[in-house]
Amino acid sequence: MRKLWLIFAQTVTISLAVAFVVATIRPEWLGDLPWPAASRPEPAAPGAAVPPAANSFREAAKRALPSVVHIFTSQKVRAPRHPLADDPLFKHFFGDEGELDDPRKSGLGSGVIVSPDGYVLTNYHVVEGADQIEIALDNGRTHKAQPVGGDPETDLAVLKLLPGKDGAQAFPAIDLGRMEDVGVGDVALAIGNPFGVGQTVTMGIISALGRSHLGINTFENFIQTDAAINPGNSGGALVNVNGRLIGINTAIYSRSGGSLGIGFAIPISTVRSVMDEIIRTGSVTRGWIGVEAQEITEELAESFNLPDTDGALIAGVQRGSPADKGGVKPGDVLLAVAGQPVKDPQAMLNLIAALKPGETVAFTFRRQKTPVQLPIRIGKRPPLRRDGRE
């Protein structure tokens, strides 16, 4: 009996192995075999839509793609005036200098339509200095656009699409997401126009949140993603699996100019606040006190006899600034702004920028080991300066 059972088991095993090999290499040989009712595939009706696979993001791309646009800019470049430009003989042979030297600098990037009436969000560096802006929609139509305003310190700008020849129309606006719903490990899609090849979607995950101290912008709070971002993607959309905007692609980390899987996007929380203020007033107003701050290293903490490295060391105070009038001195260590702790100069910058010009706020300092609280009347932050001053 045992011998018969072993023969049966071996026969079944060999038969299954043969069936598996045949099904893999020559499945047509099994075409006439009956299928179990539960696993029999139903043929698709002619013209019926095939449902997407479980790991497909086609619906997210379908929702977001119409809202992502291509931005083409041009800017007149003023060449140095030729020393012989006014010479009659020179003009006779070469014409006026204006006819000879009228070079234009062109550029391209991406943008996102954020409202049906035609507001477009992009990076400030995409449209900086441009005197002509043309936007190509996903449907192939092109529109002229005019700048509404920009914020170089977050690298954001808002444009307004001008109606086409057929008059006013509703533009396909993207749905805005919420930063509270974004987490490390979430799938993200980057949409833009890399290298000018056309609308492109790449996929990755959210690698990190709150990236700063990168030296890209004055105010940094980036989303880091490994979705491929390349030149021309600037100003394009970073969306979630529902096709909602969660960031504006703005920079890559690269030594070669190509994508290395480290891209940065401005988060939707920053995008919303900056965009709303630009649309409302044309610019962004921030608080300012006029100090130059330095990060406290272990060596500085030891030399100044500080208990820790928290805070921002005041390295300089601008004469006549709110800080100067409030009694701030070089060597003070800023510990808190309006009761909110200051961890480093970047945190100080963000806290002060969020204050309204004209209001008086309590600043807490450490001066020669003694806590000092000074009321300071907040001023208006001047236009961008790249010398490290706040």
- Dump pLDDT digits (tens) for 165-210: 666 678 999 999 999 999 999 999 999 988 878 889 999 999 999 9
CATH number of domain containing 372: 2.30.42.10
From the candidates 67, 110, 234, 321, which is the catalytic residue? 234
User: In angstroms, what CA-CA distances link 84 with 79, 91, 93, 100?
Assistant: 14, 9, 12, 13
How many CB atoms sit inside 10 A of residue 3's CB?
7
**Final residue of a domain: which of 230, 254, 281?**
281
- Residue 194: phi and psi, rounded to 5, are -70, 135
Domain-located, residue 84: yes
Q: Are residues 203 and 142 in the same domain?
A: no
Q: Residue 243 and residue 63: Cα distance in Å, rounded?
A: 6
pLDDT in tens, 18-27: 776 666 666 6
Same domain? For 312 and 366 the reply is: yes
pLDDT reported for residue 100: 45
Q: Find the helix or strand (DSSP H, E) in which 333 lies.
A: strand 333-337
Judge whether 17 lies within some domain: no
The domain spanning residue 210 has which CATH number? Answer: 2.40.10.10
The pair phi, psi for residue 318, each rounded to 5°, is -70, 135
Residues 208 and 230 both lie in one domain: yes
Contacts of 297 (CB under 8 A, 6+ apart): 309
Residue 295 above 60 pLDDT? yes
Where a domain ends, among 281, 316, 337?
281
As for how many domains the chain has, the answer is: 3
Answer with the one of 106, 132, 161 that is the final residue of a domain: 161
Mode of pairing for the β-strands spanning 187-192 and 156-161:
unpaired
- 248, part of any domain: yes
CA distance 217 to 235: 14
Instruction: Judge if 311 and 333 occupy the same domain.
Output: yes
Per cent of the chain over pLDDT 90 is: 52
The reply to whether 96 belongs to the active site is no
Is residue 352 one of the residues assigned to a domain?
yes
DSSP β-bridge partners for residue 147: 159
What pLDDT shows up at residue 75?
76
* Measured distance CA(60)–CA(190) in Å, rounded: 11
Q: What's the rounded Cα separation, in Å, for the pair 95 and 92?
A: 6
Residue 91, domain member (yes or no): yes
Active-site hit among 67, 70, 155, 259: 155
Asked, for residue 231, whether it belongs to a domain, the answer is yes
pLDDT reported for residue 37: 47
pLDDT tens across 122-170, in order? 999 999 888 889 999 988 888 999 999 999 999 999 999 988 766 667 8
Indicate which residue of 125, 226, 332, 344 is catalytic.
125
Please enumerate in sequence order all residues whose Cβ is within 8 A of that of 379, keeping only pairs 6 or more positions apart, or say none. Answer: 287, 288, 289, 290, 321, 322, 357
Closest CA to 326 of 281, 378, 274: 378
pTM, full prediction = 0.74
- Give the max Cα distance, the chain: 119
Higher pLDDT, 324 or 45: 324
87 flagged as catalytic: no
What is residue 337's predicted lDDT score, i.e. its pLDDT?
94
155 catalytic residue (yes or no):
yes
pLDDT at 51 over 80: no
Residue ranges of E strands in 77-233: 104-113, 119-122, 132-136, 142-151, 156-161, 187-192, 200-211, 222-225
Range of the domain at 361: 287-380
User: HSE on the CB side for 28, CA within 13 Å?
Assistant: 0
Q: Are 81 and 36 in contact (CB under 8 A)?
A: no
- pLDDT recorded at residue 388: 37
Does residue 4 belong to any structural domain of this protein? no
Residue 14 inside a domain? The answer is: no
Give the residue-averaged pLDDT of 72-78.
77
